[in-house]
């Protein structure tokens, strides 16, 4: 499949790039996408939540009333989970939510997500560009050129560019990443993917195996 290369001002050039069908044109695997996104979101969790069970709550362990003859339910110590201020039953404790996912599954998920974007015409290729200095207004002009202002946009660079990163940092719904950091969640969580031309080679090398 071929895509026209655009300038950063949104104008189509005479150049075209051929997308590798083994990366951008596969039959998407929804289950692989589900597993990869699930792992990504699980990795974002700190897992520092904690709660006090009855052994952790401060209080006496004496029996607060006699067993029979009160007309109410039997009760033990004041730390009973049924009482206000008592311990919590089966509450959360610090844990690690990470789980293992095979590299081939992750690769398949990213290729599936990219294939969806190509099918939906939500992937654009632009010429490599530089910014002389960090300037948010200049980056906003780029978003306007592709009708992406106030829309979720992912810009994929081939290498770090601090000026571009700083220019986009204060704009809501915009994320700038390197091609080797491309992940399934970011691909699907944005309305449009803007790839700089040189990033295609890196993506093909990483996913075309």
Domain boundaries defined on the chain? 2-45+98-207, 47-96
Q: Please say whether the structural domain 2-45+98-207 has been given the CATH code 3.40.1370.10.
A: yes
Q: What angle do CA 180, 146, 21 make, to 5 degrees?
A: 45
Residue among 85, 53, 54, 79 at smallest CA distance from 64: 79
Q: What is the pLDDT of residue 2?
A: 86
Q: What is the pLDDT of residue 209?
A: 64
> Per-residue pLDDT tens for 67-86?
999 999 999 999 999 999 99
Question: Which stretches of the chain score pLDDT less than 50?
Answer: none
Residue 126 has, within 13 A of its CA and on its CB side, a CA count of 22
Could you tell me the sign of the dihedral formed by the alpha carbons of 8, 10, 13, 18, in that order? positive
Q: What is the pLDDT of residue 10?
A: 87
Q: What is the pLDDT of residue 152?
A: 95
* Mean pLDDT, the chain, integer: 93
> Per-residue pLDDT tens for 118-128?
999 999 999 99
Going by the DSSP 8-state scheme, the letter that residue 20 receives in this structure is P
């Amino acid at each position: 499949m071929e895509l026209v290369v655009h300038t950063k001002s949104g104008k189509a050039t005479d150049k075209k790039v051929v997308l590798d069908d083994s990366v951008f044109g596969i039959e998407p695997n929804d289950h692989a996408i589900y597993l990869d996104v699930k792992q990504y979101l699980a990795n974002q969790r700190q897992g520092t939540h904690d709660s006090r069970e009855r052994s952790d709550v401060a209080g006496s362990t004496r029996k607060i009333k006699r067993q029979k003859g009160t007309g109410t339910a039997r009760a033990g110590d004041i730390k009973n989970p049924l009482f206000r201020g008592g311990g919590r039953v089966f509450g959360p404790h610090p844990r690690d939510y990470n789980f293992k996912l095979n590299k081939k599954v992750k690769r398949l998920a990213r290729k599936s997500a990219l294939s969806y974007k190509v099918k939906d015409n939500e992937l654009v290729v632009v010429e490599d560009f530089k910014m002389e200095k960090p300037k948010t207004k200049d980056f906003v002009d780029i978003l306007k050129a592709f009708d992406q202002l106030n829309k979720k946009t992912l810009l994929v660079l081939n290498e770090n560019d601090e000026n571009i990163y700083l220019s986009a940092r204060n704009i809501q719904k915009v994320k700038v990443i390197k091609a080797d950091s491309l992940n399934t969640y970011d691909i699907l969580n944005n309305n449009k993917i803007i790839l700089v031309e040189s990033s295609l080679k890196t993506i093909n090398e990483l996913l075309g195996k």
